[in-house]
Amino acid sequence: MAFDLVVRGSLVLADGILENGYVAVSGGVIAAIGQGSPPAASEVVDHRGKLVFPGLVDGHMHTSSSTGWPGIEGASMSAAAGGVTTCVDMPYDVPRPVTDAGILAEKIQVVNATSHVDMALYGTIRKDGGVEEIAGLANAGVCSFKLSTYEYDAVRFPRINNTMMVEAFAEIAKTGLMVGIHNEDQEIVEGAIAAAKATGRTDPIMHARTRPPLCETMADLAIFEMALETGAHVHIAHSSLARGFDLAEIFRKQGGKTSGEACIQYLCMTEEDLVRLQGFGKCNPPFRTADEVERIWGSIAEGKVAYVSTDHAPWPKSRKEYTGDIFACGAGLTGLQSFAPLMFTLLRQRGLPLSLMASLCAERPAKFHGLFPRKGAIRIGCDADLLVMEEGEFTFDARDIQDREDAKWSPYDGMAMKARVAGTFLRGHCIWDGKQVLARPGTGRFVPRQHGETFTG
């Protein structure tokens, strides 16, 4: 019996590279993996000489923060072009965040109708309550929850106070799901911004100065202590600091289920880039120092980092333009389409094995979000989601971003890359051939969490 599809190339697994390999697909699922002459198949795609990774799983993004659910269509198109086959989307949508099973059902419909890649979804609660909706959201398939210690918006992205945070953690603990936390201390940031404004300082670097490392670590400690108390798996949604990963480990050793992720910008960008990029370099937490970047790579080497994500947030360009007040710019970067080339490039520059990318950007986020073993690996039985990388000397050009016009900007615009995305496969179908997106709105599907087992690494 012939397979539907065979893709040939060097397979990048989480524990090594299989030269002259192939992946054989039946019914959208990886049915065989091999080396040498491939078996018969309806279609054979020959990527020999290129590197075939598992399709990336981006564990952290915001498709609908600025435009609402219509944003899913464009963001997922750029994901397809970037080899990200599973998006894990945050719940902080305008006008309504995903705070109950009803809203979730609506968002799932939109995902199934408009997404170009598969998508798992976070749930959240309201500022004023809704803990009783947690079980329903879990039953309806959210992969994880997201809460925040910092308030961007009382409705869309509220700060949850400690009382409700503890209640929510206790309820989430029953589900086994992870709860990711936006980890910045509200008071420290507000105080610092007020002080900066009072002295007339609203230039770009002040974004970093008003969100000092302390504002992260204080939030980290607070939520980790609540994790220890409630038994919930509490995950800092981004740590720009090695200390965040150290703290997660200290609490794990005390019995807590605690973890943290690094976003790719914290692996390469520094305060100097914030000054250079102005509003287009603004994200929360902000870029840190070059020394801190090194320390984070150290955390990766020590195995302390849960996974690497993008925190993709495709603000309209107009919201990122700096006109004298950095505080007025939207916080967040685009990152989906640059994710694979950038991670590839950073690993090559540091002489690190490419299998780290298969692990940190696919298998591990899939495990943390309960999507494994359906997503995240080149592995028999997994969905046949593949990313084909072609090595070479390329330049990342923001104009190539496959999203709506005003999302075509990137902090990495013009950056030299060591590889490009030469092909993307989603459940056995080519959705990006290196030139254009072949997926259509609705090619992507909602992916529910597969099980309730907690994974903390």
Q: Which residue from 44, 94, 205, 222 is in contact with a second copy, where contact means CB under 8 A?
A: 222
Q: Which residue from 108, 173, 188, 248 is in contact with a second copy, where contact means CB under 8 A?
A: 188
- Is 1 or 399 the residue whose CB approaches a second copy more closely? 1
Residue 172 in contact with residue 134, Cβ under 8 Å? Answer: yes
Q: With the C-alpha atoms ordered 80, 82, 88, 93, is the resulting torsion angle positive or negative?
A: negative
Regarding 191 and contact with a second copy (CB under 8 A), the answer is yes
Q: Residue 26 Cβ, how far from a second copy at the closest point, in Å?
A: 6
| All residues at 6 or more sequence positions from 365 whose CB lies less than 8 Å from its CB, including other chains | 57, 58, 59, 88, 261, 306, 307, 308, 309, 371, 376
- Position 119: which residue type? M
Residue 131 in contact with residue 174, Cβ under 8 Å? Answer: no
Q: Backbone phi, then psi, for 154, in 5-degree steps? A: -65, -25
Regarding 380 and contact with a second copy (CB under 8 A), the answer is yes
Q: With the C-alpha atoms ordered 315, 207, 57, 423, is the resulting torsion angle positive or negative?
A: positive
Q: Residue 386 Cβ, how far from a second copy at the closest point, in Å?
A: 16
CB burial class (10 A; 0-12, 13-18, 19+) of residue 399? exposed
Q: Residue 385 Cβ, how far from a second copy at the closest point, in Å?
A: 16
- Is 298 or 381 the residue whose CB approaches a second copy more closely? 381
* CA trace torsion 267, 270, 276, 280 (10° rounding): 50
Regarding 373 and contact with a second copy (CB under 8 A), the answer is yes
Span 28-47, contacts to a second copy by CB under 8 A: 29-37, 39-40
Task: Give the position of tokens 């007020």.
Answer: 194
Span 231-290, contacts to a second copy by CB under 8 A: 250
In eight-state DSSP terms, residue 63 is S
Span 437-456, contacts to a second copy by CB under 8 A: none
Q: How many other C-beta atoms lie within 10 A of the C-beta of residue 95?
A: 9
Regarding 113 and contact with a second copy (CB under 8 A), the answer is no
Regarding 135 and contact with a second copy (CB under 8 A), the answer is no
Q: Which residue from 133, 171, 185, 271 is in contact with a second copy, where contact means CB under 8 A?
A: 185
Query: Of 15-23, 125-133, 234-242, 260-268, which part binds a second copy (CB under 8 A)?
Result: 15-23
Q: Which residue from 57, 138, 166, 313 is in contact with a second copy, where contact means CB under 8 A?
A: 166
Question: Which residue ranges make up the site for a second copy (CB under 8 A)?
Answer: 1, 11, 16, 18, 21-22, 24, 26, 29-37, 39-40, 161-164, 166, 185, 187-188, 190-192, 195, 213-214, 217-218, 221-222, 225-226, 229, 250, 373, 380-381
